[in-house]
Amino acid sequence: MNDSALISIGLPIALAIIMFGLGLSLTPGDFRRVAKSPRAVVVALVLQILVLPAVAFGLVIAFNLDPLLAVGVMLLAASPGGTTANLLSHLFRGDVALNITLTAINSVLAAVSIPVITNLAISYFDADGTLGLQFGKVLQVIAIVIIPVVLGMFVRSKSPGFATRADRPVRIFSIAVLAIVALGAIFGERDNILDYLQSVGAVTALFCLASLSLGYFVSRLLRLSKTQSIAASMEIGVHNTTIALTIALSVLDSVEVAIPAAIYSVFMYILAPAFGFLISRGHTDDDPADNHVTTVPRATVE
């Protein structure tokens, strides 16, 4: 499986198409919006970039994971929020404009956060020395994460109609890729899957719950509006597991590193909607702090 053209060539191309689709949903205004809600953006980014890796590291140490699985969990923690968060935030009446802004910023920061956190994890857990993200591999991460997003934004600026028409096909394609890759990673290690579930299942489930909870309750504690807190919860709890899977399989060439992301993607689609339902119960539109919210999503599902 590791050596197949599907993984080494097809998967990065598929991810590039997904990121291009994400770019089709973004505009420069999504980045400029930071000036309008700087506190909400800073809170969410600090949680995502600094706190989540610390939480993941604590879970990995507490459960004494195998080095490659530990690297996989840290890679997952370093991956940006998934664009599925935009859809879930809309469903549970969150601040979708904030989600779109965070998704745009995270897509850029991922080119730095993923190599840094992953290399630190590889070094700390003494994983296979050839596993590291050397300079060439870092460039590969940038190529499949950033460049397609920029191209998508450029195309949107020139042809908004095409960007709108492409939204649904890219969304369906994205879901299909995630499902195929996650199931493929699990099937490729089918002889060990029960052991993996036993060792990393609890870690990924707890990490998902911790991500969702931190995003919502810390935001509320810091007096962000309920809609902003729901958006932060979805953005922080719903990771772009397709990026983590692609890097694990095609860049690091390791199915075992991909397993945590594959299992997380299953828990994520169960726990995130359930959590969203719980925190949005009783939510009304008469909260004065929420009057600025826009609730029309324009992003693809990863």
Can you give the pLDDT at residue 234? 94
The burial of 15, by beta-carbon neighbours within 10 Å (0-12 exposed, 13-18 middle, 19 or more buried), is given as buried
Can you give the pLDDT at residue 269? 85
Distance from C-alpha of 153 to C-alpha of 103, rounded to nearest angstrom: 13
Confidence category of residue 297, pLDDT binned at 50, 70, 90? very low
Distance from C-alpha of 260 to C-alpha of 66, rounded to nearest angstrom: 11
Give the phi and the psi of residue 139 in degrees, each rounded to 5. Answer: -60, -35
Can you give the pLDDT at residue 129? 56
Q: Pull the structure tokens for residue 46.
A: 């600090």
Can you give the pLDDT at residue 90? 79
Per-residue pLDDT tens over the stretch 74-128: 999 998 876 678 778 878 888 877 888 888 788 778 888 888 899 899 989 987 6
| pTM of this structure | 0.77
Can you give the pLDDT at residue 168? 76
Distance from C-alpha of 143 to C-alpha of 152, rounded to nearest angstrom: 13
Q: Which of 96, 137, 92 is nearest to 114 (CA)?
A: 137
Tell me if 74 sits within 8 A of 121, measured CB to CB: yes
Residue 299 pLDDT exceeds 50 = no
Of 8 and 193, which is predicted with more confidence? Answer: 193
Can you give the pLDDT at residue 213? 96
Can you give the pLDDT at residue 278? 93
Q: Pull the structure tokens for residue 133.
A: 């993200």
Can you give the pLDDT at residue 185? 64
Q: Pull the structure tokens for residue 122.
A: 């590889």
Per-residue pLDDT tens over the stretch 8-63: 566 677 777 777 877 787 777 776 766 777 899 999 999 999 999 999 999 999 99
How many CB atoms within 10 Å of residue 222? 14
Can you give the pLDDT at residue 170? 77
Per-residue pLDDT tens over the stretch 126-181: 876 556 666 676 677 777 777 887 888 888 888 888 888 887 787 777 777 767 76
Q: Which of 69, 82, 272, 112 is nearest to 178 (CA)?
A: 82
145: CB partners within 8 A, 6+ apart: 15, 19, 107, 110, 111, 114, 243
Distance from C-alpha of 1 to C-alpha of 115, rounded to nearest angstrom: 24
Q: CA of 266: how far to CAs of 16, 71, 184, 286, 299, in Å?
A: 22, 19, 13, 35, 21
CATH 3.40.120.10 fits 5-269, yes or no: no
